[in-house]
Each structure stands twice: as structure tokens, then as C-alpha cells.
């Protein structure tokens, strides 16, 4: 019975450590935060959020990006940079 309990606890510990590692990586991934910034800008352009809500989200996201990379001296992507982003999609098969 003791062996079974130790295996169960060990397996549970392993799973919880893996979940914690994934959550930590996601919270500390600058690309994820830049994506959230882009989503907020697009939501504002689509009228889903107000300018005040955009400003609040932008402040929070940019603060987090500065925390993740303090060596950048505050140089992070802002919504001003996003206005210049062009997106092109190739749908592949173009039939006439």
C-alpha cells in the first residue's frame, strides 16, 4: 500500500510541476503579451472596446513587457507601432 501511495503522490507531483512550468512560460512569454496588445488594438478598431479601455489594457500590457525585459530601456512594441503592421494571407488555390 505504501508503494502505491508513493507512486500516486510522485505522479501527481510530476503533473503539477509540468502544469506550473507551462503556466510560468506562458506568463513570461513576450510574444504572448504583444499578441494581447494587438488584440486590444483590433478590438478598439472594431468598436468592441472604448478608447479608455484600450488605454488601460495598453498600460497593463506595456508594464508587463517592461518587467519581462528591463534591459530594453522601455523600448517595447506599442499600439502606435501596430498601426503600421500589414497582414497578408495566401489562401493557396486561386480559381477563376
Say what the pLDDT of residue 41 is.
93
> 43-94 pLDDT, tens per residue?
999 999 999 999 999 999 988 888 887 665 545 555 555 455 555 656 666 6
Task: Dump pLDDT digits (tens) for 11-20.
Answer: 888 888 888 8
Residue extents of the structural domains in the chain:
2-70
What confidence score (pLDDT) does residue 40 get? 94
On whether the CB atoms of residues 82 and 38 are closer than 8 A, the answer is yes
The whole-number pLDDT of residue 44 equals 94
Cβ atoms within 10 Å, residue 73: 8
Q: What is the pTM of this model?
A: 0.53
Amino acid at each position: 500500500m505504501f508503494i502505491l501511495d508513493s507512486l500516486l503522490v510522485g505522479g501527481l507531483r510530476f503533473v503539477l510541476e509540468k502544469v506550473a512550468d507551462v503556466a510560468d512560460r506562458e506568463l513570461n512569454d513576450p510574444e504572448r503579451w504583444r499578441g494581447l496588445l494587438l488584440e486590444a488594438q483590433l478590438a478598439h478598431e472594431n468598436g468592441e472596446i472604448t478608447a479608455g479601455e484600450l488605454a488601460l489594457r495598453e498600460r497593463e500590457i506595456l508594464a508587463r513587457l517592461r518587467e519581462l525585459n528591463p534591459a530594453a530601456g522601455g523600448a517595447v512594441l506599442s499600439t502606435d507601432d501596430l498601426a503600421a503592421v500589414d497582414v497578408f494571407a495566401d489562401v493557396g488555390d486561386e480559381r477563376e
